[in-house]
Structure 1
Amino acid sequence: MEMLNPHCGIERDNRGVVRLTICNAGSLNILSSAVTNGVREGFEKLAGDKDIRAVILAGQSEKSMIGGADIKEMAKLDQQSAEAFITRLRDLCEAVRNFPAPVIARLPGWCLGGGLEVAAACDFRIAAHDAKFGMPEVRVGIPSVIHAALLPRLIGWGRARWLVMTAENIDASTALAWGLVDVVAKQGGLDAAVEHTVKALLECGPEALRSQKVLLRQWEELPLTESVNLSVGVFGQSFLTGEPQRLMQGFLDRKR
């Protein structure tokens, strides 16, 4: 594993798939300011690499991808330092959300609070059979903020309200039924489930996937008619890459 900084290690295979591991953050991979900055810097450093086809975001231990934000650090905050703390976490979530290639959250064990916000900013969430999810902030006197705002879009208002206002945890099967995660792996099969998704992405045109990710982000923000009309030009531009011609011809050749 190559260490980009003390809290961010990367492994890259010959397919252009990068596993980005959150390191030296305790057994639950807790987001202190230093860890948050380290992981964000890792994503920002990799963002310009056009050869990356997908990123798997993982924690160093099997207890969690990210267990949450650092309560020891937060307990000492005041208004000004609290805003600085949460801005750092927002910037990490945005670095994930804006990363040009697809990002897969590998979710063993606990995924709580800031960890669930980072997971929500990923494109895909693949959970272990015994994973647990929750937004416990209100129990420690703070609201869930920043990328918790993605939750109503993912799971609907009622379920998002349940998570952020009751602070109750849900299990993996509930998370799947709610649409909070995309896949729940069989016992012992988390990496196989991640690899299945990686293989599906590698079958797709890399430029098309990058373009699709940008469109999806815009669709989250824009009114429907604008989303529809905006995408006409994006469709046309895709033919400048040469990818449609190559992949469509390959499809036609296989049909003969």
Structure 2
Amino acid sequence: MADSILTERRGRVGIVTLNRPEVLNAWTRPMRDALIEAFSAFEADPAVGALILTGAGDRAFGAGQDLNEAKGFDADRAEDWMGEWERLYDRMRSLSKPLVGALNGLAAGSAFQVALLTDIRVGHPGVRMGQPEINSGIASVTGPWIMREMLGLARTIDLTLTGRLMDAEECVAVGLISRLVPQERVLDASLELAEQLAAKPPVAMRLNKQRFREVTEPGFRDCLAAGTRIQRESYATGEPQMMMEQFLAVRAARRT
């Protein structure tokens, strides 16, 4: 898990990279903690005016929760898990500096949610995004809140219940991807955008982002409270653990 998050600075832009490409940058608890630390360090750095979040490799921004971790959860651990997401999402939402999402491939489940918490997203024609958590037995709670804010209830229900992934064309059409470029240009285009944002007046930028947070805060807190209740109930039944074991077994069989 060492170096699961990489950071670098290019001029006034801080770059944070999810760095587990061998598992499509899937999340674990140490990785979430390291991501919070990386965001906090750049937030405190006066030389940094904007941030980029991306994923290592060319296959995925992120595949979401690492099921090898989550398959061992019980109800108590599931409640702690929601607290981990609250800390990460709260850190992202409270950034005073603009955050660009540089999407390189798949953004699924909680990685889809994290992508939607960036301010502006740059992607390429091979990007796929969505909320397939139901396929591995995980109830969606924070995802529907974030999606409804951006997509409306009807499309949110569709994506949550079917678990389907949207292709880049649909993502652009519904406004989730703001800039579509060739895959090899994603990071460069994100840097160009981040540099433009870093040059904006910082007080106005901070206050604009603060207001976006304020108008969405009640829904955010409601989804977290509901998430704790729902995940406790879900994991107490044993269904998520069973579905994840089955999912991992099928995936392992395909590799042999």
TM value normalised by structure 1? 0.78
**1:213 matched to 2:209:** yes
Taking structure 1 as reference, are residues 187 and 200 closer, same or farther at Cα in structure 2, changes over 3 Å only? same
Three-state SS of the structure 2 residue aligned to 1:47 is helix
Q: Which residue in 2 is equivalent to 1:168?
A: 164
Aligned counterpart in structure 1 of residue 133 of structure 2, from 116, 133, 137: 137
Deviations 1:117-144 (A, max 9, x none): 1111111111121100111111111211
Q: What is the CA distance between 1:147 and its match in structure 2?
A: 4.8
Uncovered stretches (5+) of structure 2, i.e. residues with no partner: 219-256
Q: What are the residue-to-residue correspondences of 1:94-243 with 2, within 5 Å?
A: 94-221=90-217
Q: What is aligned with 2:8?
A: 11
Gaps of 5+ in 1: 223-256
Shift of 1:158: 1.1
Structure with the larger RCO, 1 or 2 (CA within 8 Å, 6+ apart): 2
Distance in 1 between residues matched to 2:206 and 2:143, nearest whole Å: 21
Distance 2:21 2:73 in 1: 20
Q: 1:24, 1:151 → 2: CA distance?
A: 26
Structure 2 counterpart of 1:195, one-letter code? L
Q: Distance in 2 between matches of 1:220 and 1:90?
A: 14
1:155 maps to amino acid: L
* Aligned-residue offset at 1:68: 0.8
Instruction: Give the count of matched residue pairs.
Output: 217
Give, in angstroms, the shift of residue 85 of structure 1: 1.9
Does residue 80 (structure 1) correspond to residue 76 (structure 2)? The answer is yes
- What's the counterpart of residue 230 of structure 2? none
Aligned to 1:48: 44
For residues 221 and 92 of structure 1, what CA distance do their matches in structure 2 show? 15
1:18 touches 1:56 (CA, 8 Å); kept in 2?
yes
- Listed one character per residue, the Cα deviations across residues 21-43 of structure 1 (whole Å, up to 9, x for unaligned) are 12246341010111111111211
Shift of 1:103: 0.7
Partner of 2:26: 30
Cα offset, 1:88, TM superposition? 1.1
CA displacement, residues 118-176 of structure 1 (integer Å, 9 cap, x when unaligned): 11111111112110011111111121122541111111111111111110111011011
Fraction of identical pairs, as percent? 25
Partner of 1:238: none
- RMSD between superposed Cα atoms in Å: 1.8
- CA deviations on 1:2-39 (whole Å, 9 max, x unpaired) are xxx7322211122x111111224634101011111111
